[in-house]
Structure 1
Amino acid sequence: MELKIISPEEVKQLLKEGKNISLIDVREDEEVAEGKIPEAVHIKMGEIPERLDEIDKEKEHIIICRSGRRSENVSLFLMDQGYKVKNMEGGMLAYGDHNS
Protein backbone atom coordinates (compact mmCIF):
# COMPACT_ATOMS: atom_id res chain seq x y z
CA MET A 1 0.00 0.00 0.00
CA GLU A 2 1.31 3.40 -0.90
CA LEU A 3 1.85 6.09 1.69
CA LYS A 4 -0.52 9.03 1.28
CA ILE A 5 0.94 12.50 1.39
CA ILE A 6 -0.56 15.89 2.14
CA SER A 7 0.93 19.29 1.41
CA PRO A 8 1.52 21.94 4.11
CA GLU A 9 -0.90 24.17 2.17
CA GLU A 10 -3.62 21.53 2.43
CA VAL A 11 -2.99 21.20 6.17
CA LYS A 12 -3.24 24.99 6.61
CA GLN A 13 -6.49 24.99 4.63
CA LEU A 14 -8.01 22.20 6.77
CA LEU A 15 -7.07 24.09 9.94
CA LYS A 16 -8.44 27.34 8.53
CA GLU A 17 -11.74 25.58 7.81
CA GLY A 18 -11.79 24.36 11.41
CA LYS A 19 -11.69 20.71 10.38
CA ASN A 20 -11.11 18.25 13.19
CA ILE A 21 -7.83 16.74 12.03
CA SER A 22 -5.19 14.87 14.00
CA LEU A 23 -1.65 16.17 13.62
CA ILE A 24 1.27 14.35 15.23
CA ASP A 25 4.62 16.14 15.42
CA VAL A 26 7.45 13.60 15.75
CA ARG A 27 10.35 16.06 16.12
CA GLU A 28 12.64 16.30 19.15
CA ASP A 29 11.84 18.56 22.13
CA GLU A 30 14.30 21.28 21.15
CA GLU A 31 12.85 21.46 17.63
CA VAL A 32 9.30 21.73 18.93
CA ALA A 33 10.43 24.41 21.38
CA GLU A 34 11.12 26.62 18.35
CA GLY A 35 7.46 26.40 17.43
CA LYS A 36 4.91 23.89 16.26
CA ILE A 37 1.45 23.91 14.76
CA PRO A 38 -0.70 24.66 17.84
CA GLU A 39 -3.15 21.86 17.03
CA ALA A 40 -0.42 19.23 16.76
CA VAL A 41 0.25 16.62 19.42
CA HIS A 42 3.95 16.11 20.13
CA ILE A 43 5.11 12.49 20.25
CA LYS A 44 8.83 12.10 19.57
CA MET A 45 9.73 9.65 16.84
CA GLY A 46 11.56 7.40 19.32
CA GLU A 47 8.51 7.26 21.60
CA ILE A 48 5.96 6.34 18.93
CA PRO A 49 6.20 2.53 19.48
CA GLU A 50 5.55 2.77 23.22
CA ARG A 51 2.81 5.39 22.88
CA LEU A 52 0.70 3.68 20.23
CA ASP A 53 -2.21 3.45 22.68
CA GLU A 54 -2.44 7.26 22.57
CA ILE A 55 -3.02 7.18 18.81
CA ASP A 56 -6.62 6.50 17.77
CA LYS A 57 -6.83 3.73 15.17
CA GLU A 58 -10.21 4.98 13.96
CA LYS A 59 -8.91 8.39 12.93
CA GLU A 60 -6.61 9.47 10.15
CA HIS A 61 -3.44 11.14 11.41
CA ILE A 62 -1.13 13.59 9.66
CA ILE A 63 2.49 13.02 10.65
CA ILE A 64 4.86 15.99 10.77
CA CYS A 65 8.61 16.49 11.23
CA ARG A 66 11.17 19.07 10.14
CA SER A 67 11.62 18.12 6.50
CA GLY A 68 9.25 15.21 5.91
CA ARG A 69 11.78 12.37 6.12
CA ARG A 70 11.32 11.22 9.72
CA SER A 71 7.57 11.62 9.42
CA GLU A 72 7.69 9.39 6.33
CA ASN A 73 9.42 6.67 8.37
CA VAL A 74 6.93 7.06 11.22
CA SER A 75 4.02 7.02 8.75
CA LEU A 76 5.24 3.77 7.19
CA PHE A 77 5.68 2.24 10.65
CA LEU A 78 2.17 3.29 11.69
CA MET A 79 0.72 1.98 8.42
CA ASP A 80 2.32 -1.39 9.20
CA GLN A 81 0.56 -1.28 12.58
CA GLY A 82 -2.79 -0.72 10.86
CA TYR A 83 -3.14 3.04 11.35
CA LYS A 84 -4.52 5.52 8.82
CA VAL A 85 -1.88 8.15 8.18
CA LYS A 86 -0.67 10.82 5.79
CA ASN A 87 2.81 12.29 5.68
CA MET A 88 3.04 16.08 5.53
CA GLU A 89 5.40 16.60 2.64
CA GLY A 90 8.30 18.97 3.22
CA GLY A 91 7.67 19.12 6.98
CA MET A 92 7.81 22.27 9.05
CA LEU A 93 10.42 23.76 6.71
CA ALA A 94 7.79 23.84 3.99
CA TYR A 95 5.01 24.83 6.40
CA GLY A 96 6.84 28.06 7.07
CA ASP A 97 5.90 30.40 9.86
CA HIS A 98 4.89 28.12 12.74
CA ASN A 99 2.64 30.67 14.36
CA SER A 100 0.49 31.63 11.41
Structure 2
Amino acid sequence: MAAYGSISADELNARLGEVALFDVRGPAETDRGVIEGAVLMPLHLVPMNVDRFRGDRDVVIYCHSGARSAQACQFLAGQGIDCLFNLQGGVMYWAGSGLPLVPPAQ
Protein backbone atom coordinates (compact mmCIF):
# COMPACT_ATOMS: atom_id res chain seq x y z
CA MET A 1 0.00 0.00 0.00
CA ALA A 2 1.23 3.47 -0.82
CA ALA A 3 2.17 5.79 2.00
CA TYR A 4 1.94 9.51 2.57
CA GLY A 5 4.20 12.08 4.14
CA SER A 6 3.75 15.18 6.21
CA ILE A 7 4.56 18.78 5.43
CA SER A 8 5.10 21.67 7.81
CA ALA A 9 3.28 24.99 7.55
CA ASP A 10 6.51 26.72 6.49
CA GLU A 11 7.24 24.09 3.82
CA LEU A 12 3.70 24.40 2.46
CA ASN A 13 3.90 28.19 2.47
CA ALA A 14 7.05 27.97 0.35
CA ARG A 15 5.31 25.62 -2.11
CA LEU A 16 1.90 27.32 -2.45
CA GLY A 17 0.89 27.40 -6.11
CA GLU A 18 2.98 24.39 -7.05
CA VAL A 19 1.01 21.79 -5.07
CA ALA A 20 -2.62 20.68 -5.34
CA LEU A 21 -4.11 21.82 -2.02
CA PHE A 22 -7.31 20.36 -0.54
CA ASP A 23 -9.22 21.42 2.58
CA VAL A 24 -11.32 18.54 3.97
CA ARG A 25 -13.12 20.58 6.66
CA GLY A 26 -16.84 21.24 6.53
CA PRO A 27 -18.49 24.51 5.41
CA ALA A 28 -18.94 25.91 8.95
CA GLU A 29 -15.17 25.61 9.43
CA THR A 30 -14.06 26.82 5.99
CA ASP A 31 -16.27 29.90 6.37
CA ARG A 32 -13.74 31.09 8.98
CA GLY A 33 -10.94 31.07 6.40
CA VAL A 34 -8.89 28.79 4.16
CA ILE A 35 -5.34 28.60 2.91
CA GLU A 36 -5.16 30.49 -0.39
CA GLY A 37 -5.61 28.23 -3.41
CA ALA A 38 -7.25 25.37 -1.51
CA VAL A 39 -9.98 23.28 -3.11
CA LEU A 40 -12.81 22.66 -0.64
CA MET A 41 -13.52 18.94 -0.41
CA PRO A 42 -15.31 17.91 2.80
CA LEU A 43 -13.97 14.58 4.06
CA HIS A 44 -17.18 12.66 3.31
CA LEU A 45 -16.90 13.62 -0.38
CA VAL A 46 -13.31 12.40 -0.83
CA PRO A 47 -14.25 8.79 -1.78
CA MET A 48 -16.54 10.05 -4.57
CA ASN A 49 -13.86 12.37 -5.97
CA VAL A 50 -10.69 10.24 -5.98
CA ASP A 51 -9.83 11.24 -9.56
CA ARG A 52 -9.61 14.92 -8.53
CA PHE A 53 -6.53 13.97 -6.49
CA ARG A 54 -4.72 12.39 -9.46
CA GLY A 55 -2.33 14.52 -11.44
CA ASP A 56 1.26 15.53 -11.88
CA ARG A 57 1.53 17.72 -8.77
CA ASP A 58 2.12 16.79 -5.15
CA VAL A 59 -1.13 16.74 -3.18
CA VAL A 60 -1.39 18.43 0.23
CA ILE A 61 -4.47 17.82 2.36
CA TYR A 62 -5.39 19.68 5.53
CA CYS A 63 -8.16 20.01 8.10
CA HIS A 64 -8.40 21.74 11.48
CA SER A 65 -5.80 19.72 13.41
CA GLY A 66 -4.49 17.10 10.99
CA ALA A 67 -6.65 14.13 12.05
CA ARG A 68 -9.27 14.16 9.27
CA SER A 69 -6.68 15.00 6.64
CA ALA A 70 -4.64 12.00 7.83
CA GLN A 71 -7.75 9.84 7.26
CA ALA A 72 -8.10 11.29 3.76
CA CYS A 73 -4.41 10.65 3.03
CA GLN A 74 -4.67 7.07 4.26
CA PHE A 75 -7.75 6.42 2.12
CA LEU A 76 -6.24 8.04 -1.00
CA ALA A 77 -2.94 6.20 -0.56
CA GLY A 78 -4.98 3.00 -0.56
CA GLN A 79 -6.50 4.09 -3.88
CA GLY A 80 -3.02 4.34 -5.42
CA ILE A 81 -2.60 8.10 -5.10
CA ASP A 82 1.02 8.95 -4.38
CA CYS A 83 2.92 12.16 -3.65
CA LEU A 84 0.45 12.80 -0.79
CA PHE A 85 1.20 15.05 2.17
CA ASN A 86 -0.73 15.85 5.34
CA LEU A 87 -0.29 19.36 6.77
CA GLN A 88 1.20 18.94 10.25
CA GLY A 89 -1.11 20.42 12.87
CA GLY A 90 -3.65 21.45 10.24
CA VAL A 91 -4.97 24.95 9.70
CA MET A 92 -4.76 25.51 13.45
CA TYR A 93 -0.96 25.30 13.31
CA TRP A 94 -0.86 27.25 10.01
CA ALA A 95 -2.73 30.20 11.53
CA GLY A 96 -0.84 29.83 14.81
CA SER A 97 2.39 30.27 12.84
CA GLY A 98 1.13 33.68 11.67
CA LEU A 99 0.40 32.50 8.12
CA PRO A 100 -2.63 34.01 6.38
CA LEU A 101 -6.10 32.65 5.82
CA VAL A 102 -8.40 34.00 3.13
CA PRO A 103 -12.17 33.84 2.67
CA PRO A 104 -13.27 30.73 0.77
CA ALA A 105 -14.02 31.17 -2.93
CA GLN A 106 -17.74 31.29 -3.55
TM-score by length of 1: 0.87
Q: Which residue of 2 aligns with 1:59?
A: 57
Task: Give 3-state SS (helix, strand or coil) of 2:54's partner.
Answer: coil
Q: Is the 8 A contact 1:65 1:71 kept in 2?
A: yes
Structure 1 alignment gaps of length 5 or more: none
Q: Is the 8 A contact 1:60 1:83 kept in 2?
A: no
Identity %: 29
Q: Which residue of 2 aligns with 1:78?
A: 76
TM superposition outliers: structure 1 runs of 4+ over 4 Å: none
Q: Which residue of 2 aligns with 1:98?
A: 101
Task: Give 3-state SS (helix, strand or coil) of 1:83's partner.
Answer: coil
Q: CA RMSD in A?
A: 1.5
Deviations 1:9-55 (A, max 9, x none): 1111112xxx4211010000110010001211010000001112322
In 2, the alpha carbon distance for the partners of 1:5 and 1:91 equals 11
Deviations 1:39-78 (A, max 9, x none): 1101000000111232224432001100001000100100
Q: Is the 8 A contact 1:14 1:21 kept in 2?
A: yes
Q: Which residue of 1 aligns with 2:86?
A: 87
